[in-house]
Every structure is written in C-alpha cells, then in structure tokens.
Amino acid sequence: MNTQLEQLKEILARSRAEIGKVIIGQERVIDHALITIFTGHHALIEGVPGVAKTLLVRTLARVLGGDSSRIQFTPDLMPADITGTNVFNLQTNEFTLIKGPVFTDFLLADEINRAPAKTQSALLQAMQERLVTIDRETHRLAPVFTVFATQNPIEYEGTYPLPEAQKDRFLLKIPMDYPSREEELQLADRMLGRESPENVLAAGGVGQVIGAEDLGLLREALESVLVKEELRAYVVDVVRGTRGHEGILAGAGPRATQALLVSSRARAALEGRDFVTPDDVKEMAGPVLDHRIVLRPEFEIEGVTIPEVIAAVLKEVPVPR
C-alpha cells in the first residue's frame, strides 16, 4: 500500500473516531457519509426527525475542517434563497452580491422534497458543476462542496417528489434508522449530564482531522485502489441486471455504474485495502441503486420492496472468483 493510501486510511479511521464522539451508533451511516465526501459526490439521507441528520453534517464539517450551512426547504422557498442575489447598494451606487447558503463546503438541504421543482433545480448546477449562476454571472463554489439532502420517509403529504434526473445526481441514498435500545439508553444517560452530543460539539470536544483544502489530495489517493477487470465487469452486470428484472419498471442508468465503481473503491479504502472485492460491490449496491430504481406498480401493491429486488438481482449475477 502506497504512502498516500496509508495516509487516507489513517485519516478515515481518525474521522470515524471523532464523529463517534457525537453520533452514537450509526456506523454504517458515518461510513457512507465519508465515502460520499471522499469521492467528491452528494448523498440523499432518509430518516425520521430526531435521528441526528443535521448533527451529522455539522460534525462532518468540524472534523474535516470545512464550513456548513443548512437550508430548510418549504413550499414558498425561492431559488434566490438558495443561491443568493445582487442587491443595489445606495452608498457605492453599484450592485453587491449577497451570497446564499449554497456558498459553503457542506450543505444540508433539509426536507428537499418540500420545495417545488423550480427551487429544487436551483441545486442542480451547483451539484453537477460546483458553479452557481446569478444574474448571468457564474460563481465558483468550493471544490469540496457536498450536498446532504434529507427526506422524511413517512410524511409525503404536501411534498414534491424529486425527479429521476435529480435523484440520479446523488451518489448514495443513506437510510438513518432509529438507534438500538443500548444506543438510545447511552444517549439518555448523556443527556442527563453535560455530555449531550450537541454540547460535545459546541464545546469543541470534536477535533479537526484534516483541512478542507487537503481533501482533494486525498481523493486522488483513491485512484491507487485496484479494481480488477472482472470486478469492473461485475459492476456493469449488476447495474444492467436492474434493467431486465421483471419487477423493475425503470432500471439504473450508466451514472449508477460510475457511482457503484467509485463507492466500492472508497469502501475498500475505508476497510484498509488497496483492492476492491465483490463484497465491496455488494455492500454498496443498495445505497447506490435504491433511489435509481422504479418498481412496477403491481409489485409495489404486492408489498415487494426495492431492497428485495436489488438482493434478487445480486443473486442472479455471477460473482467473479
């Protein structure tokens, strides 16, 4: 393993430890959030209120030395509320740019499906190109700009479902479930003292592991993780398998192939390896494919779920030896 990859492995381990001081449990969620950031992509987080979605993004920003912003999406939110606008300054007799919350390193787009499509689309250029156009002038965002968009999996009344083109721009869909009984008991104990997660973060109990400006160099380290030819073919066959399954109305596109490759590579680095295994692909298949697949209505009526269909596809595709 080369020096750059060893450094990435060490930083990932330290980041896990620091985030764990605030976020109780949720190890898989933390891993997938780190994979999202270190591959330079974005994630869709789905979970009920109160499972620490906002706290997770704030903690990631603290550990990785970046800034964070939060946007609460509502039906009356306008695109300019996200990107910013030019305001005329009477003193200088010229327009001044008032930057919106999108000008940050890590952006939490809270309940993104509560805003109409026009407002949701304001994030598309920022997510894809890391650029924002305001009054025909283009502004560059931070190289590490990462969007974590949240959805409530229960309340769909009064929401605007994300179009498939927008969902496809998220590398992963990360479900945040309720904590286990032991984890919730640990949280209850900490809340009675001064070591609540919010207090730990506010008091500086979480250390910075790396600066945001150094993330780009570490992303390059992922290129040293070997993906053998048969593993690349396996990834392609898994994604293509979603297009021919009887229960799937619309399968995953080519962007899913790219997402599964880079996330499997990052998962291998997270586990301290410089090569990808079929288990890495299987582990990341769910988060990569879940939001990119549309089930047939008759299968939904019968209670078939997308994770079940993905598991069936994985069983059908021969695993390389």
In tens digits, the chain (321 residues) has pLDDT values of 567 778 888 888 888 888 888 888 888 999 999 999 988 899 999 888 777 888 888 899 889 888 889 999 888 888 888 888 888 888 888 888 888 899 999 999 988 888 888 888 888 778 888 888 888 888 899 888 999 998 877 666 667 777 777 788 899 999 888 888 988 888 888 888 777 888 888 877 788 888 877 777 777 778 888 899 999 999 999 999 999 888 888 888 899 999 999 999 999 988 888 899 999 999 999 999 999 988 889 988 888 889 999 999 999 999 987
Q: Do 190 and 234 have their domain in common?
A: no
DSSP conformation letters of 247-284: TEEE---HHHHHHHHHHHHHHHHHTT-SB--HHHHHHH
Q: Which of these three, 179, 194, 223, is where a domain ends? A: 223
Q: Do 185 and 263 have their domain in common?
A: no
Q: Do 110 and 242 have their domain in common?
A: no
Residues in contact with 63: Cβ distance below 8 Å, sequence separation at least 6, in sequence order? 15, 18, 19, 206, 207, 208, 209, 210
Q: Do 212 and 109 have their domain in common?
A: yes
Residues in contact with 240: Cβ distance below 8 Å, sequence separation at least 6, in sequence order? 251
CATH at residue 77 = 3.40.50.300
Q: Do 126 and 152 have their domain in common?
A: yes
Number of domains forming the structure of the chain? 2
Q: Do 143 and 276 have their domain in common?
A: no
Burial of 321 (0-12, 13-18, 19+ CB in 10 A): exposed
Beta bridge partners of 294: 250
Q: How many helices (H) and strands (E) does the chain have?
A: 15, 11
Three-state secondary structure readout of 192-230: HCCCCHHHHHHCCCCCCCCCHHHHHHHHHHHHHCECCHH
Q: Do 219 and 258 have their domain in common?
A: no
Q: Which amino acid is at 227?
A: V
Q: Do 80 and 190 have their domain in common?
A: yes
What's the domain range around 179?
A: 3-223
Q: Do 12 and 137 have their domain in common?
A: yes
Q: Do 159 and 10 have their domain in common?
A: yes
